[in-house]
Structure 1
Amino acid sequence: MVLSHGGEPRRSARPVARRTAEQVLDLAPDEESREAGRALGSRGSWSGVGHGGPGVMWGVCAGGDSAPCRTAVESNELAYTCSCAAVKSPCMHALGLLLVASGTPVPARAEEPPPWAAQWLADRRGRAAAESPPAPAAAAASASRAAAARRAERRAERITGGAQELDQRLTDLLRGGLAATDRPGHGLWEETAARMVDAQAPGLANRVRELGSVPASGPGWPTRLLEECALLHLLDSAWLGLDRLPGPLAATVRRRVGLTASPEGPALRDHWLVLAQYDTPDGRIVTRRVWLYGGDSGRTALLLSYGAPGRAPADALPVGAVIDAEVTPYPGGGGLRAELGARFGEPVVTTAPPPGGTTADAVAAYGHALRDDPWLDAWPVTLRDVIPAPSGDGWQLVGAADGSALPVAASALSRPGLWKLVALSGGNPVTVFGECGHRGFDPLAAWRPETSDGVGPSVAMALI
């Protein structure tokens, strides 16, 4: 190390652990400073001398007619400070004390420096810490974060390329007409889905594959296909303009194209009623959905877990039970999805239903949710005092009070849960929880109240 003009060390090719008198005097800016420093290089020229460890020394040098000069040095790194007004660097006082330090044995233990020397040493340690490289663990964590950011940026670029290609393919499809899409062997959808997989946008790929099943869905399929193409165009356009969207909607778009997110925000502790639980195949994996209702907060939460091929998903909870637990929400998606956290105590079984509303309330709730997530297929709602009744080729749930009706989704007509609901009702009003969407209402659980004569007890039943 060599001294800088500010008295702090500069890096040299090779550090020196212990300096000789000649090495110290070689630092003198001129011959006059060299001789003056040599004259102060004895212990007798200094008072209040102390040692702060190997190479660290401080002292006060009488200045004749001027005020005494307070000087501190670090001989191993050739750093110094002095209260004199000399313009030469190093000054004669620093050279003299460095000479004293170079010839003084290392003390057995460090002494407590005076305040002015302690401040200089503390400042040096602070600058050294700021300039030193980060600790290995911190450096590794920083490198890991930087690598993750680069991967996320590269993936976003690939998704953007896929969205641009998808937008062009939808434009070409509509320009050429929808009639050709129902021809046997038409491979537009699978080819396009494969391109979205290559772009690392599984959400876009899944929606493209769903388009392939629309032409075989029966009469009126061109209208439904046009609607789904419009929603898909809205999604890839939203991704391409992601930076202009508000935060919650941007989070929903990221989730819809297939980017994963982590739960964020404070955990919410509540007494959660397990409303429903069901598994659905999703390619090679199985997705488990568990619906919860917070008795204190009035909030509905969705737990999602996934099972690898041949393995059941986690988070199996008994329907109708109440658990005292914490959940942490995920961003976007209308705030429904959450992660189950700590549990407190054992589940308690109950037959009490959650509060519900009318069929009109259910449709309004779904419409409100579409403002936050335009690609939402259904929204969780509870219908109070409804009676299942046949309607043409299907079924509907009719409000006992106002006679308003909500059709049962076609996907539920072939499940045994519908007949469980009919048997549970027996023509009387029941409370039903399910998912309300543009395809109708899909019942998932039901509660029958106790009869007015007290003969029949209240009953809770899972419908799926």
Structure 2
Amino acid sequence: MNIHVTVDQVAKMAPDVSVANAGRKLSLPKNWKTVGQNAQALWGECQGSALYQVRIELSTLTTQCSCPSRKIPCKHSLGLLYLCANTPTAIATGEPPDWVISWLNKRSAIQQQKATLATQGPTKKPAASSTQKSTAKRQEKILQGIAQLDLWLEDLIRNGLGSLDTHSTTIWHQQAAKMVDAQALGLAQALRTMSAIPHASPDWTEKLLGKLGKLALLSESYHHLERFAPPLQEDIKLLVGWTLKEAEVHERGEHVSDDWFMLGQQTSEVERNRVQSTWLYGKETGRSAQILQFAYASAPFAENFPLGMQQRAEIVYWPGNDPQRALFVRRPDMPQAIQGSFGAETLDAFFAQVATQLAKQPWRETFLCLLQSAIPIYDSNQNRWYLSDQVGQAVPLVETANEHWKLLALSGGHPLDFAGEWNGEALLPLGVLVDHTTYHLL
């Protein structure tokens, strides 16, 4: 049984370009002493300055190599995956050696332990009185911080947005630092994001006023949490800065099993942390989900999600009124190539979905946009890119340094199934499906 992995998917897993290039050089059969696979794993021994043993769990594409490299996946792991993508017939099916079996058994035991901890919680819990005191103390700090924020917002509006300095972002970061001190990290991040809006576009005042309005709405809502249903209370608390441990998400969140399409992924940097966002779409439920992973500096992300694949799995959503963020609970099956099309037939249908989501959770900033039979268009008069649906309605694509020539080349002027991220103003292309083959664009 050969695994279905493409060169593009392997390249996306590389921690940097140099490791990807080194992995490609190791993708020839002559570099491998032994290779093999079964339903659970792919393995091989690569001859370098020493004989390095590579193990890859197929359901999650988790890798381990005996080499001393701190970069994960290392060049040997990528080399084996490139070999599988380029020359699948070179990897025979067979029984794994002991060094693979012992690794798989260890991983299985750890995953079982994590599953038990997630459903049952830790064996030792802090005393209820201690937890209540800590929660009450933090709640007091947050309320004091929000009171300061309310006064600052009132002063900002009273003085007028036109009074904002053209180049300075100091006031935003100063206010964000106060929210960090108040343990309202969600509000701090919102303020940092707003710092890039003033004087950045002709209609910046309108954009900023909308963001400030949502921030004021969040502040007012937090002051009166008791007015809202419990699911919306969860959203408000999360946006302000309260967080949940994974065990709490497992216990309180909604569990959904489906064939999940892994359609797009992007990585951004927040200070020295890297944030990876992966968009999923449920084939049976028609629901979207966003998986967020965090890594410090150059550290690898904990899990790999092969783009352009579908996988039978169980996820759990964070508690909320219309949950979007989720995490994987179990991925027992191997990823397979996406089968079938996806998405709304028109942009009007997509925007109806957006309106429904905003009615349930008005602070949502990004949405997974799936559109059937879409065509990318370049308007040379405006020097602007658009995406058109099958009835001729179009929306702008985000302006990027690389523009969107790859998207146009994949389309060739013909319709394709499109996956992107809508931010309320423009679409960021993530991937497309062309002739039953998926391509990622980031």
CA distance in 1, matches of 2:190, 2:438: 35
- Is the Cα contact below 8 Å between 1:286 and 1:312 reproduced in 2? no
**Is 1:302–2:290 an aligned residue pair?**
yes
Q: CA deviation at 1:141?
A: 4.6
CA distance in 2, matches of 1:316, 1:142: 32
**Is 1:395–2:385 an aligned residue pair?**
yes
Instruction: For residue 304 of structure 2, give the secondary structure of its aligned residue in structure 1.
Output: coil
CA distance in 1, matches of 2:341, 2:325: 21
Q: What amino acid is aligned across from residue 389 of structure 1 in structure 2?
A: I
CA distance in 2, matches of 1:142, 1:350: 43
Instruction: For residue 216 of structure 1, give the secondary structure of its aligned residue in structure 2.
Output: coil
The 5 A counterparts of 1:326-405 are: 326-332=314-320, 334-350=322-338, 352-391=340-379, 392-400=382-390, 402-405=391-394
CA distance in 1, matches of 2:384, 2:264: 23
Question: How many residues in Structure 1 have an aligned counterpart in Structure 2?
Answer: 313
Aligned-residue identity in percent: 30
- Tell me the alpha carbon deviations over residues 241-269 of structure 1, each in whole angstroms, 9 at most, x when there is no partner: 11211222211111111211232245322
- State TM-score, norm by structure 2: 0.67
Q: What amino acid is aligned across from residue 234 of structure 1 in structure 2?
A: L
Q: CA deviation at 1:184?
A: 4.7
Residue 460 of structure 1 corresponds to which residue in structure 2? 438
Instruction: For residue 319 of structure 1, give the secondary structure of its aligned residue in structure 2.
Output: coil
**Distance of aligned partners of 1:315 and 1:333 in 2 relative to their CA distance in 1, 3 Å threshold:** farther
**Distance of aligned partners of 1:423 and 1:200 in 2 relative to their CA distance in 1, 3 Å threshold:** same
**Distance of aligned partners of 1:184 and 1:395 in 2 relative to their CA distance in 1, 3 Å threshold:** closer
Q: CA deviation at 1:306?
A: 0.7
**Is 1:188–2:171 an aligned residue pair?**
yes
Instruction: For residue 238 of structure 2, give the secondary structure of its aligned residue in structure 1.
Output: helix
| 1:427 aligned to which of 401, 404, 413 | 413
- Is the Cα contact below 8 Å between 1:435 and 1:441 reproduced in 2? yes
CA distance in 1, matches of 2:126, 2:302: 33
Q: What amino acid is aligned across from residue 444 of structure 1 in structure 2?
A: L
CA distance in 2, matches of 1:435, 1:345: 27
- Is the Cα contact below 8 Å between 1:382 and 1:432 reproduced in 2? yes
Residue 48 of structure 1 corresponds to which residue in structure 2? none
Q: CA deviation at 1:459?
A: 2.4
**Is 1:440–2:426 an aligned residue pair?**
yes
CA distance in 1, matches of 2:360, 2:296: 31
**Is 1:408–2:391 an aligned residue pair?**
no
CA distance in 2, matches of 1:293, 1:347: 14
Q: CA deviation at 1:142?
A: 6.1
Residue 299 of structure 2 corresponds to which residue in structure 1? 311
Residue 104 of structure 2 corresponds to which residue in structure 1? none
- Is the Cα contact below 8 Å between 2:169 and 2:196 reproduced in 1? no
- Is the Cα contact below 8 Å between 2:345 and 2:389 reproduced in 1? no
- State TM-score, norm by structure 1: 0.64
Q: CA deviation at 1:327?
A: 0.8
**Distance of aligned partners of 1:185 and 1:339 in 2 relative to their CA distance in 1, 3 Å threshold:** closer
Q: What amino acid is aligned across from residue 461 of structure 1 in structure 2?
A: Y
- Structural RMSD (CA): 2.0
Larger Rg computed on CA atoms:
1
Residue 272 of structure 2 corresponds to which residue in structure 1? 284
CA distance in 2, matches of 1:228, 1:267: 32
- Tell me the alpha carbon deviations over residues 288-340 of structure 1, each in whole angstroms, 9 at most, x when there is no partner: 11112222222222111111222122221111112121111111262111110
**Distance of aligned partners of 1:164 and 1:358 in 2 relative to their CA distance in 1, 3 Å threshold:** same
- Is the Cα contact below 8 Å between 1:255 and 1:332 reproduced in 2? no
The 5 A counterparts of 1:48-197 are: 141=124, 143-185=126-168, 187-197=170-180
**Distance of aligned partners of 1:218 and 1:356 in 2 relative to their CA distance in 1, 3 Å threshold:** closer
**Distance of aligned partners of 1:146 and 1:419 in 2 relative to their CA distance in 1, 3 Å threshold:** farther
Residue 235 of structure 2 corresponds to which residue in structure 1? 252
Q: What amino acid is aligned across from residue 366 of structure 1 in structure 2?
A: V
CA distance in 1, matches of 2:188, 2:253: 30
Q: Which has the higher contact order (CA 8 A, sep 6+)?
A: 2
CA distance in 2, matches of 1:266, 1:359: 29
CA distance in 1, matches of 2:321, 2:392: 32
CA distance in 1, matches of 2:366, 2:140: 31
Q: Which stretch shifts more, 331-340 or 252-261?
A: 331-340
- Is the Cα contact below 8 Å between 1:387 and 1:427 reproduced in 2? yes
**Distance of aligned partners of 1:267 and 1:221 in 2 relative to their CA distance in 1, 3 Å threshold:** closer
| 2:202 aligned to which of 219, 226, 235 | 219
**Distance of aligned partners of 1:282 and 1:185 in 2 relative to their CA distance in 1, 3 Å threshold:** closer
| 2:190 aligned to which of 191, 207, 214 | 207
- Flag structure 1 segments of 5+ consecutive residues without an equivalent: 1-139, 450-457
Q: Which stretch shifts more, 243-252 or 381-390?
A: 243-252
- Flag structure 2 segments of 5+ consecutive residues without an equivalent: 1-122
CA distance in 1, matches of 2:256, 2:166: 52
CA distance in 2, matches of 1:187, 1:285: 21
Instruction: For residue 160 of structure 1, give the secondary structure of its aligned residue in structure 2.
Output: helix
**Distance of aligned partners of 1:218 and 1:142 in 2 relative to their CA distance in 1, 3 Å threshold:** closer
- Tell me the alpha carbon deviations over residues 339-373 of structure 1, each in whole angstroms, 9 at most, x when there is no partner: 10122222112353324321111122112211122
CA distance in 2, matches of 1:186, 1:315: 35
- Is the Cα contact below 8 Å between 1:325 and 1:341 reproduced in 2? yes
Residue 35 of structure 1 corresponds to which residue in structure 2? none
